[in-house]
Amino acid sequence: MHYARAGRESEVIYTVNPRMLQEAIEERVKNEKVTTVNVCRTILALLYGSKLREEEDFYVTTTSGGRKNYHIKVNHRTLNTLKSFL
């Protein structure tokens, strides 16, 4: 999911929903067990491994049911950092 934050100088944020990502992966990879926990761990490994700063470059929200969403601020610094990690 992608949205622009109102009131900010055109700040773009992408939201990664692990459950939706898990479902998309399971459609393509039929023979492997994919869990939401594994997806969450992979997302965090990518964010922390690329040295993005929590609260400055990304933040995590939790729903009332305990599910997490990862919100990544998209700008030149975050894109270059993620690109160099991948």
Q: State residue 79's pLDDT score.
A: 86
In total, how many domains does the chain have?
Answer: 1
Q: Residue 80: its pLDDT value, please?
A: 86
| 36-82 pLDDT, tens digit each | 999 999 999 999 999 899 999 999 999 888 899 999 998 888 888 88
Sequence-distant (≥ 6) Cβ neighbours of residue 79 within 8 angstroms? none
Domain region containing 74: 2-85
Helix (H) or strand (E) holding 36: helix 36-49
Band of residue 5 on the pLDDT scale cut at 50, 70, 90: low
Inter-residue contact 15 to 2 (CB < 8 Å): yes
Q: What is the pLDDT at residue 31?
A: 85
CATH code of residue 41: 1.10.10
